[in-house]
Amino acid sequence: MIYSAAIPALLNKTFPIPGRFRSALPSDIAELSQLLTNRRGDRSLSYLTRPNFLSAYLHYFLPWNLYRLCLILPALDINLSAQDTITDIGCGPLTFASALWISRPDLRKIPLEINCIDRSGPVLDAGKKFFTALAADTENPWKIKLIKEDIDIRKTQVSQKRKQAAFVCAINIFNEIYENLSHNNTEGLRRMAANAALFMHNEASANASILTVEPGVPRSGQFISLLRDEFIKLNRPPAAPCTHSNACPLSGGKKNKWCHFAFDTAGAPKELSRLSAAAKLPKERIVFSFLFTGAESAAKKDSNAVRVISDTFPLPDNCFGRYGCSNQGLVLLKGEKSLIEKAAPLGLAAPFFSANGQRDAKSGALIGELK
């Protein structure tokens, strides 16, 4: 199974909504969206125990989060062996486990144990139900372990009940913690990144990979950059999206660019797009920031590799551009529209750099031409 119309259909089958309640789903989605964004102060810790909000989350936020992860996971060098453990911190309705099953068929036959940790029992149970339905037509060697636990990144010791994992992930969880920090409190955000890095580091074995995914907004980009610094201190260098371990040229903060990736939603199931429109939350782009630590990537072995990180935008003289990141810092990729559009976000580019190291007057980025 790949991410397609089959996913919303399976959600409808697994979590059917009686007809008399179906018409309220768009308004429930809209209200939940408000609680997750500009009305966060009105949100209780148990907001997903309300049946209408849980239903809204499962039919709207879960499939969009799956779509996002299914863009990221195929691009990562995830190496897992039989009997390895994955620990998913703040797993929600088993979003990561489901996305891994959907997008990485190469891993489906490997016996894995997945620790799914969340504070909400109903959300965990719903996730287990959906994952069971997702893998129902195949022999599934994955062992899903539900762990009801409140995540506190100030406690940096591994639970005695679980071993250190070969893969640790935290998807859309830390923004719920740093959302109350003042945007001027860079030092507070740095301390939070240090705590988060140490928390995940202690959950992971020495050679483990660690994945963090956050919303693609400036604040999250700043957090990801700080998290990257802390992981480097812990001898866990970035493997993606970074092509290097030098200072981050996309550190976020005031007037600084931030590392994030944007994709259009043309490939999303039509039913999901229709539901978004009905909730008055049309989604034309999927945007996220992420950090993956692990074994040295091929990109880092290639000193000329540039990671593409932005949308296409017009430049003078009928040229187009995208921004990229390299071991030389921020790069402005420049070229004909057809070439620039082929250099998609998350991909790698090998531009031509002039001998004099020409830089863009507006951004200060090193200019690299695609030919």
Of 298, 325, 340, the last residue of a domain is: 298
| Contact present, 368 and 327 (Cβ < 8 Å) | no
- Can you tell me the mean pLDDT for 270-274? 93
Report pLDDT for 21: 79
Of the pLDDT bands very low, low, confident and very high (cuts 50, 70, 90), residue 10 is: very high
- Say how far apart CA 35 and CA 262 lie, in whole Å: 24
Report pLDDT for 145: 97
Residues 27 and 158 in one domain: yes
Of the pLDDT bands very low, low, confident and very high (cuts 50, 70, 90), residue 48 is: confident
Q: Look at residue 84 and tell me if it is in a domain.
A: yes
SS3 84: strand
Report pLDDT for 169: 98
Report pLDDT for 142: 98
Residues 223 and 113 in one domain: yes
| Contact present, 124 and 148 (Cβ < 8 Å) | yes
Q: Count how many domains the chain has.
A: 2
Report pLDDT for 40: 58
List, as one string, the DSSP characters of 215-272. Answer: ESSHHHHHHHHHHHHHHHHTT--EEES-S-SS--S-B-STT--B--EEEESTTS-HHH
Assess whether pLDDT exceeds 90 at residue 130: yes
Q: Look at residue 80 and tell me if it is in a domain.
A: yes
Tens-place pLDDT, residues 298-334? 667 777 789 999 889 999 989 999 999 999 999 999 9
Assess whether pLDDT exceeds 80 at residue 344: yes
Residues 316 and 284 in one domain: no
Closest CA to 279 of 12, 8, 33, 9: 33
Of the pLDDT bands very low, low, confident and very high (cuts 50, 70, 90), residue 295 is: confident
- Can you tell me the mean pLDDT for 28-39? 84
Q: Look at residue 210 and tell me if it is in a domain.
A: yes
- Say how far apart CA 29 and CA 69 lie, in whole Å: 20
Of 264, 298, 332, the last residue of a domain is: 298
Tens-place pLDDT, residues 232-244? 999 999 999 999 9
Residues 251 and 336 in one domain: no
User: Which has the higher per-residue pLDDT, 184 or 275?
Assistant: 275
Residues 156 and 265 in one domain: yes
| Contact present, 258 and 221 (Cβ < 8 Å) | yes
List, as one string, the DSSP characters of 278-314. Answer: HTT----EEEEEEEEESSPPHHHH-TT-EEE-S--EE
Tell me the percentage of the chain whose pLDDT exceeds 70: 93
Assess whether pLDDT exceeds 90 at residue 37: no
Assess whether pLDDT exceeds 60 at residue 42: no
Residue 342 has which token pair?
């082929």
| Contact present, 124 and 118 (Cβ < 8 Å) | yes
Residues 250 and 356 in one domain: no
Of 242, 275, 298, the last residue of a domain is: 298
Q: Look at residue 64 and tell me if it is in a domain.
A: yes
Residues 285 and 354 in one domain: no
**Residue 96 maps to which CATH number?**
3.40.50.150
What is the span of the domain harbouring residue 253?
6-298
User: Which has the higher per-residue pLDDT, 244 or 159?
Assistant: 244
Assess whether pLDDT exceeds 60 at residue 1: no
Report pLDDT for 252: 81
Residues 197 and 343 in one domain: no
Residues 337 and 189 in one domain: no
Of the pLDDT bands very low, low, confident and very high (cuts 50, 70, 90), residue 159 is: low
- Can you tell me the mean pLDDT for 289-305? 80
| Contact present, 67 and 102 (Cβ < 8 Å) | no
SS3 204: strand
Q: Look at residue 50 and tell me if it is in a domain.
A: yes
Of the pLDDT bands very low, low, confident and very high (cuts 50, 70, 90), residue 64 is: very high
Report pLDDT for 46: 60
Residue 335, beta-bridge partner list: 320
Report pLDDT for 19: 77
List, as one string, the DSSP characters of 173-201. Answer: -THHHHTTS-TT-HHHHHHHHHHHHHHHH
Residues 123 and 56 in one domain: yes
Report pLDDT for 38: 65
- Can you tell me the mean pLDDT for 338-364? 91
Q: Look at residue 1 and tell me if it is in a domain.
A: no
DSSP H/E element including 96 = helix 95-103
Residues 211 and 359 in one domain: no
- Say how far apart CA 119 and CA 131 lie, in whole Å: 18
Assess whether pLDDT exceeds 70 at residue 44: no
| Contact present, 35 and 42 (Cβ < 8 Å) | yes
Output the pTM of the full model.
0.93
Residues 67 and 189 in one domain: yes
Report pLDDT for 156: 65
Residues with Cβ within 8 Å of residue 141, at least 6 apart in sequence: 108, 109, 110, 111, 112
Report pLDDT for 183: 82
- Can you tell me the mean pLDDT for 72-87? 95
Report pLDDT for 61: 95
Residue 275 main-chain phi, psi, to 5 deg: -65, -40
Residues with Cβ within 8 Å of residue 46, at least 6 apart in sequence: 120
